Protein backbone atom coordinates (compact mmCIF):
# COMPACT_ATOMS: atom_id res chain seq x y z
CA UNK A 1 0.00 0.00 0.00
CA UNK A 2 3.06 2.27 -0.03
CA UNK A 3 4.45 2.10 -3.58
CA UNK A 4 7.99 3.15 -4.45
CA UNK A 5 8.85 5.03 -7.65
CA UNK A 6 12.40 5.08 -8.98
CA UNK A 7 13.94 7.08 -11.79
CA UNK A 8 16.45 9.69 -12.87
CA UNK A 9 16.45 13.48 -12.87
CA UNK A 10 19.08 16.19 -12.67
CA UNK A 11 21.72 15.43 -10.03
CA UNK A 12 21.01 16.80 -6.55
CA UNK A 13 17.50 17.97 -7.46
CA UNK A 14 14.37 17.60 -5.33
CA UNK A 15 11.83 15.12 -6.69
CA UNK A 16 8.22 15.41 -5.54
CA UNK A 17 5.55 12.73 -5.95
CA UNK A 18 1.93 13.90 -6.16
CA UNK A 19 -1.49 12.28 -6.38
CA UNK A 20 -3.48 15.09 -7.98
CA UNK A 21 -2.45 18.18 -6.02
CA UNK A 22 -1.63 16.21 -2.85
CA UNK A 23 2.08 15.82 -2.14
CA UNK A 24 2.69 12.19 -1.15
CA UNK A 25 6.48 12.19 -0.77
CA UNK A 26 9.69 13.88 -1.80
CA UNK A 27 13.37 13.00 -1.99
CA UNK A 28 16.66 14.33 -3.33
CA UNK A 29 18.45 12.71 -6.26
CA UNK A 30 21.99 11.52 -5.75
CA UNK A 31 25.04 12.89 -7.57
CA UNK A 32 24.20 10.65 -10.56
CA UNK A 33 20.58 11.83 -10.65
CA UNK A 34 19.03 8.56 -9.44
CA UNK A 35 16.17 8.58 -6.97
CA UNK A 36 13.80 6.31 -5.13
CA UNK A 37 10.73 7.81 -3.47
CA UNK A 38 8.21 5.88 -1.38
CA UNK A 39 4.69 6.98 -0.52
CA UNK A 40 4.80 7.65 3.22
CA UNK A 41 1.19 6.77 4.14
CA UNK A 42 -0.66 3.64 3.08
CA UNK A 43 -3.03 4.13 0.14
CA UNK A 44 -6.42 2.48 -0.28
CA UNK A 45 -7.12 0.00 -3.04
CA UNK A 46 -7.66 1.71 -6.38
CA UNK A 47 -5.89 3.09 -9.42
CA UNK A 48 -3.75 6.18 -9.00
CA UNK A 49 -2.06 8.48 -11.46
CA UNK A 50 1.06 9.80 -9.78
CA UNK A 51 2.80 12.91 -11.05
CA UNK A 52 6.47 13.65 -10.43
CA UNK A 53 8.41 16.89 -10.73
CA UNK A 54 12.07 17.69 -10.19
CA UNK A 55 13.36 21.05 -8.96
CA UNK A 56 17.04 21.85 -9.45
CA UNK A 57 19.33 24.06 -7.34
CA UNK A 58 18.39 27.13 -9.44
CA UNK A 59 14.71 26.47 -8.57
CA UNK A 60 13.81 25.42 -12.13
CA UNK A 61 10.90 22.96 -12.07
CA UNK A 62 10.84 20.22 -14.68
CA UNK A 63 7.89 19.29 -16.84
CA UNK A 64 5.84 16.76 -14.90
CA UNK A 65 5.92 13.03 -15.62
CA UNK A 66 3.03 10.71 -14.83
CA UNK A 67 2.78 7.06 -13.95
CA UNK A 68 -0.32 4.96 -13.29
CA UNK A 69 -0.33 2.45 -10.44
CA UNK A 70 -3.03 0.08 -9.17
CA UNK A 71 -3.19 -1.04 -5.55
CA UNK A 72 -5.14 -4.21 -4.91
CA UNK A 73 -4.10 -5.30 -1.43
CA UNK A 74 -5.92 -8.09 0.37
CA UNK A 75 -4.54 -8.99 3.79
CA UNK A 76 -3.93 -12.67 4.49
CA UNK A 77 -6.87 -14.51 5.99
CA UNK A 78 -6.88 -16.96 8.84
CA UNK A 79 -5.31 -17.06 12.24
CA UNK A 80 -1.80 -16.52 13.39
CA UNK A 81 -0.87 -20.22 13.47
CA UNK A 82 -0.94 -20.68 17.24
> Could you read off the pLDDT of 62-80 as tens digits, one per residue?
999 999 999 998 877 766 6
- Residue 62: exposure state from Cβ atoms within 10 A (0-12, 13-18, ≥19): middle
Tell me which residue of 16, 23, 61 sits closest to 7, measured CA to CA: 16
On the question of pLDDT at 15 being above 60, the answer is yes
Q: Which residue blocks in the chain are alpha helix, DSSP H? A: none
Q: Are 41 and 71 in contact (CB under 8 A)?
A: no
Angstrom distance (rounded) from CA 15 to CA 49: 16
Amino acid sequence: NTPTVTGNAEANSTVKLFNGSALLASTTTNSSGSFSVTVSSALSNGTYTFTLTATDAANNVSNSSSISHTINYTPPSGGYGY
